[in-house]
Structures are given as structure tokens and as C-alpha cells.
Structure 1
């Protein structure tokens, strides 16, 4: 009898973590690797937020908290939903987890019975299908092509829904594509969902504050009649440069939130008390840093897209949000590297960039879309310049 559970056979290692680990190994061996594979802002956590965490330690606020999170934090989250989206949640409808990732997993684990289906537009974040599978559900992957901005069309949603569909997962702005659903596009999807009362919406809004040329919209606010069928997930990791603090949150139907808290109570208990006090400051301190972060990301986005479109064999569309570009590398497939290897897949191309030119990116196949690569521009302009120049040179070296 194997010690490892059978259910883990359907779970893949994270492509982003794997590429970052490989880049770290090369860097440790002395290679000057530029890592553009990690979805993490390169900014420091704002000083006032750090001070709030330090103050919590000094004041001895290091004990257990409520499973759902500190009440003052949930009140701050509640107020942010009211202020930003006119969404009115009761305090018991809000839960705090160890990052938005845990909140998503708790929701899936709390709601999926074996065979329940989850509609996932692809390209998608690498963890969605595997979390669904771990929770006993069946991921239903719906391809969203570049021509339509990598966004789910109403007719494709209608075709994907069955009597076993439990969730539609929406991530806007999107990881990996940077696609942002407009209010009108969400309304079109809502029109489909009204005919299928058994389908709920998991809206992952973690990149909400990072949009550039469009306004952000979220399903629970756009379609109030779907409010009770929607779980809205967010956090402080991306907008507040707090990835390591591990604070995410979700707001939604009371019965679901109670079930998620039950799971959390038997697993992580709660996220760090220190992190929670820091998150209160992040949400209530004005968040003036976000405008500065977004301005820098916008400059980097425009720079990276312009540079990559100079690379022979790559085409890169302009994303509307997050801090990723998702260029097609179809033009390099079938070409030969200087040492005679054939680039047969986007994974081959990503490994070629890493091994021969010391640039770490993530192959699009990890996000259920090929042939693409994901590049994070959450790095300094200096590193982005060096990396893009290396990518251009790598493409020019192919024959």
C-alpha cells in the first residue's frame, strides 16, 4: 500500500514554482539569471504597514485569533467592499485566510462533491485545475482565444454548463494574460448564469487594483441578483506588496463562509496575527502607494510589450491589467537552436531561454495554453531591459 494518496496523482507541480526553483539553482551556481517567472511585486511592503506589524509584536498581539480572522480586519474588509464596489456584506460573510490561494481552496473543498464540475476559462492560473481536482471536482477547461482577448464568451459558457456544474471561476485581471473583463462582458456572462441557478461564481479579484486602460468591474456588483451566488476573493499580496505576509480574504454566502471556516479551523486555524494587524493598516491607511505602484507597472508594461514585439517569432498583445504579458511564441516553434536542438513546444523555448540565455519565464502550457510564455514585469526596468535584450538575441540565434 502506497503511503501517498491516490488523489495526488492528478495534481501537477506548479510550473511557476518549478521555473523559479530552477532559476535559483542556476543563480546559486554563479549564473547571472534574470527571473521573470514569479508573480510577485518587487516593491517593498509600505513602511506604515510594516510598522503596524512591528507594533503588533511589541504589544504582544501574537496569540491565536478567531478562525475567520480578527474582527477589526473583517470590518476593514467589509468597508473596502462598500467603498469600492457598493457591496454590503455582514461581518459573518467575510473570512480571512493564508493568502487568496487558501481562500479559493477552502471554497472548493467546502463545496465540491465528487464529480461536481467547475468551468475554468483558459489560459488560467496554474493552480485552479489542480485545486479543483484535489477537492474532488472535475475541471472543465474552456479555451478563450487571443482574438477575443483571452476572455470567456457567453456562448462558450452556455456550452460548458451541465447539471453537474457547481462553479464558474473568473479571474480578472487575469493571471497569466492580464485580460480584464468589462462591465458589459460580465453582464453578458450573467445573462447566461441566470438560466442556470445551480451555478455559482468564484470571482478571483486579487489583481483588482492593477488595471491600466480600463475600469475594474466585479460580478457581485455588476449583477446584484447574483450576489448570493458569488464568492468574491481578494487580498493584500499584489496591491500592497505583501506576498509573504499571507493575507487573503473572501466574502460571499453565509453558509459557504461557515463551511470554509470549518475547514480552516481544522487545517491552518487562521493566518498570522501579526500579518492580520499589518493588513488592517494596509486597508485603512489610504493605500496611497497603489497609485505609484500602478504607474510604475504601466511604464514597465509598455516598455516590455514594445521590446518583445521586436523579437523575431514573438507577438505580444497589450494586457489591460495585472503585471504579466503573455506573448505567443508560435513563430519560433520548429526552429533550431545554435546547438541543433529543435524548439518543438513552448516548454522547449522557455528552457532554451533559461539554459542558454539565463532568462526565466514560464511556458504557457502550464497555464493550459500553448504556444505562449508568461513574463512577469514585476522587476526593475534595468532587469527588464537586460532580459528583453537577451530574449531578442535568443530569437535571433534560432534558425
Structure 2
């Protein structure tokens, strides 16, 4: 059910109280983070004087922000319901506030709520689910990867986190974008099964991708993806495409972290644009609840919720020519000339024939091919890797033979024991033999 969101308790000539619930944690508002961008969006839209000539239905707006102590379900459970009485409209970021938002919405049927990066299915009548077009995020990354890989071996990859629709939308969007930019390129993909830090698994994934000689990798796995990209950029010189924030700023610390010169760009989700647009829509009384609102690319950067970060140190690879091509792609995507070919509900590819995926999926159990030799590889064989990587992999997982076959060890210990007995006997009888 779709419901027009109107501020039932607020007169048209009154002040509106807007509550923004930020993500929890101690570093929540540092430069470039989602919280910092969202705060700016609230400041841009929630003004002390709203111009009626621009379509605003209210006189003024007062912002309120709340930050839980941690990013857990429990941290939000008391916060949001307790603050809902103080605000005419409340919005929160991410999955963890979802249950608290629903509790508050159920108890305040005449109040307005929204949640970003989470989709209620089935929808809740007085909650708007606000989403970035995740397929476009992957699609832009795929276009960049394809353009760069044309002259760098033609193999690219995307690291997905948990295999779920939101991640599949990015993974399959990536594959579709690669095909548009470089029809001869191979796009690999994998699902790590996690978004969290896992050094051992990260090393496994890095080996999988270097074995296949990829030259560009896109992060669709949050913290896990960043960890793996840092490994690939520093150890292998592979080029990285970040996501969410400008990762060169947030995760490579303005170029002070090793490997930063290999960060091509990042596909940014601009929370400033998104929050500003949502709040403005509420204040103009044209927002709807009970459904999902999508924000994506736009040729006007001020209105584009999804955009590419600058090349920073990688300008020699992510060149002005590539940037110009990307502007053309964005324009075509904005007007509908290009589409991602991804089904929103499932996250599957609709444009890959009988297959539901637009990438060649790799399993974490995949092993390098024993037939590979002489450092040769082919574009058509997922299992063909360089012999140097094979040797590295085999030595890394080699089990000591004594642990596999204990008999030689036992025999050696018995021989040593007998030798010790003989030596002791000689020590005892030696003087008598001499006499």
C-alpha cells in the first residue's frame, strides 16, 4: 500500500521537526563517512526559513540528530521510539535501526518515517524505504573496469559480500557494465559470504584473483572487500575501484596508506544528495510511504546520488579520456539509453540469456589448474593460472610428511632408544673389559 506522507500534526505555516538517526560508533562523522555526508544533506534541506516560492508547504525546519553508542539492533531499540514523539519526521541509516523504526511507526500511525539502505518487504504504510540504485553502482564500476582493462589483459573482477539481492544487484550490474565498455573482456565474480574482516579468507580470495591475472577489481563487500583490495594493490599492483565512500580518502587515508596509487576511483553513494532530496520532498509534501524510493545517477552532479570519485593518484590510468567516456555513459544511463539489465527483486541478470549472472562466478574452493605451466594463461579457462602461483599455493598448504605417515617417525624413535641403551651398557662394562 502506498501512502502520501503528509505531516498530519503540523500546520502549513508551522515549524517542522526533522530527526536524523546516524550510524553508531566512535568514528561516525569523520570526513567522507556516510554520517558526515548525511549530516550535510540535513543541513542543506532543513532550513530556519523555507521559501514558499520553491514549493515548500511549511514555514521553517528544525533539525535533530541522534547517534547510538554502537551499531547494533539493541542500540537503536530504545532510541528511536523514545525520540519519535519529539519529531514530525524521522529517518535512519542502514539495517540496524530497521526494527526500531518499524516499532515506532506502528505506535505512531500519523507520523512519518524513512529508512535508508533497507527495504521493507512487505512495505509499511508510513515508512518510506529509500535505496540507492545498487545495480547502477555496479554498472558504473564495470564500465570503468572495462575501459581500463582494454589495454591491461582484459580480465576484471568484483568481490561480493553475502550472496543476497542487494549484493547481486552490484555484482550483476558490474558484469553488464564490463560488457558494454569491453565486449572481449572477462568479468569474474565471487561471493565471500561476509562483509567483515577475515584475513585468512581475504588471502584466499586474493590468490584466486591473481591466479586469473585480473587487472582491475571492484569492492562490493564492504570491509572485507577493502581488506582484500589493500592486499591486491600493494602485493600485486592490481587496480582497485572502491565503493560507498571515496575510499582513497576514507580507507587509504588521503593517499598515506600503501597501494593508494592503484585506487582508480570509487563509486560513491552520496548521502548528502539523498538525505537532502528526501527531506525536501517531505517539506514539499510530495513524499510517499508504503513503498521504495530509488536514487541513482544524474548528469547534474549536485543531484546525482551515485557518482564517481576523482582519480587522485591514478590519473595516468584512469585518464581524462576514460573520464570523458564515463560522462557519456552517465548521460545515457540517466536518460534510459543504457540500462543495467538487472532485476531489482532478485538481483539476477535479465540480459545474460539462460544464465542469471552476468559474471563468471568463482567458488572459494576453486584450485589452480595443475595443467598450467610456463606462466601461460588463456581468456577462456577459469582454471588456468601461472605456474609461479601454483608453486606458491602448493607450498602454502603442504602438510609435513611425518604428520601424514607416523611410521618412519616411530621407527626412528625406537632406534634412538636402543642406541641409548647400548651406550649405557658400554659405560657400565667398559672397565671390566679393559682389565
TM-score range, shorter chain: 0.3 to 0.5
Higher relative contact order (CA 8 A, sep 6+): 1
TM-score normalised per structure 2: 0.33
Greater share of strand: 2
* Bigger radius of gyration among the two: 2
TM-score normalised per structure 1: 0.35
